Amino acid sequence: MARTERQLPSRILVLGATSAIASGVMRPLAAQGAQFYLVTRDPRKLAAVAADLQTRGAGAVFTHLMDLDDTDAHGSMLADAAQKLGTIDMALLAHGVLGDQEKAQSDYAAAEAILKTNFLSAVSLITWLANYFEQTRQGTLAVISSVAGDRGRKSNYVYGASKGALNVFLDGVRNRIDRSGVHVLTIKPGFVATPMTAHLDQNALFAHPSGIGDGILKAIRKRKDVAYLPPIWALIMLMIRSIPNAVFKKMNL
């Protein structure tokens, strides 16, 4: 059954606000006068992002500097966001690191750091936000995961595991709070030309962050559960997931 399209949210908490994909989501919302609470750790980048949103028409831009790995400080930051925005009607989790796979293969501390940023800090934030949205019986929880979480491959399985764990966690959260009117959106971008991927050889599969942003807004309006972006990745990952391990383990991916 086709669901009716919704209005876009207007009071938005953005975690990892300097992400290029987050900018692609925030700019069209700013043009409609949305209010933002931006969280990131680099003051100069945060100032540039805040100025951009303000110039494009944001109703208000609140900023909060913190390292999101500091899970102890999540509660006070989230309470401040809820207070400043009045109501949070969307939270966008956009922080994350690609990490160094080679280092993480031999150094547990490096692997742990990737899991801490991409998974554990997200668990801490989502725990608070899921309860907040469940109690207010509204809200959109949009989380940027990755196609890398669909299957582990040798070139980035630590990153992939952090995103795969996040996907499973979100499936469970959705199963719990969808019935309270909360929209939980798992976003799985393929390759996107962002600072995170700047060191990789970029081919035709690399998408521009503004196109990904438009795709996320569309997924929010359509209340999708999982959005592969660009959509071709749904097909690519279906094929990759269906390769038997007997073959997959011999491939160079």
Partner 1 sequence: MPRNPQPKFESWGRYPRLHANVVPLSWTTDFPLAKPPATKLLPVGAGRSYGDVCLLDGGTLLKTRGMDRLLHFDPQTGILCCEAGVTLAEILDFAVPRGFFLPVSPGTKYVTVGGAIANDIHGKNHHVAGTFGCHVPRFELVRSDGARFVCSATENADWFSATIGGMGLTGLISWAEIRLRPIVSRAIQYRGTKFIGIDEFVALSQASAQPVYTVAWIDCAATGNNFARGIYMQGDHSSMPGELTPSKRPWLTLPLDLPEFALNRFSVSLFNTLYYNKQRAKEKTGLVDYEPFFYPLDSLLQWNRMYGKSGLLQFQCVLPWEADHQMGIVKILKAITASGLASFLAVLKVFGDVPSPGMMSFPAPGITLALDFPIRTEVSFDLLDRLARITQEHGGRMYPAKDARMTAEEFQSFYPQWQAFARYIDPAFSSAFWERVTARG
Q: Which residues are catalytic?
A: 159
DSSP 85-152: HSS--EEEE-------HHHHHH-HHHHHHHHIIIIIHHHHHHHHHHHHHHHHT--EEEEE--GGGSS-
What binding mask, one character per residue, do residues 170-209 give for partner 1 by CB under 8 A, x or -? -----------------------xxx--x--x--------
Task: Evaluate the CA torsion angle 198, 203, 206, 207 in order and state its sign.
Answer: positive
The minimum distance between CB 157 and partner 1, in angstroms, equals: 26
Tokens standing for residue 44: 């100069």
- Shortest spacing between CB 96 and partner 1, in angstroms: 16
Q: Which of 4, 7, 55, 242 binds partner 1 (CB under 8 A)?
A: 55
Binding residue for partner 1, selected from 48, 123, 168, 235, defined by CB under 8 A? 48
- Interface residue with partner 1 among 14, 49, 184, 192 (CB under 8 A) is 49
Q: How far is the CB of 27 from partner 1 (least distance, A)?
A: 9
Tell me the site size for partner 1, rule CB under 8 A.
15
20 binds partner 1 (CB under 8 A): yes
DSSP for 225-244, written as a single string: SEEEESTHHHHHHHHHHHS-
Name the DSSP class of 153.
-
Report yes or no: 104 and 149 within 8 Å, Cβ to Cβ: no
Per the structure block, which two tokens stand in for 171?
């499936």
* 116 is a contact residue toward partner 1 (CB under 8 A): no
Q: Which is nearer to partner 1, 28 or 152 (CB)?
A: 28
The number of CA neighbours under 13 Å toward the Cβ of 18 is 19
CB of 47 to partner 1, least distance (A): 9
Query: Angle between the 157-177 and 121-136 helix axes, to the nearest 10 degrees?
Result: 10
**Binding residues for partner 1, per CB under 8 A?**
20, 23, 44-45, 48-49, 51-52, 55-56, 193-195, 198, 201
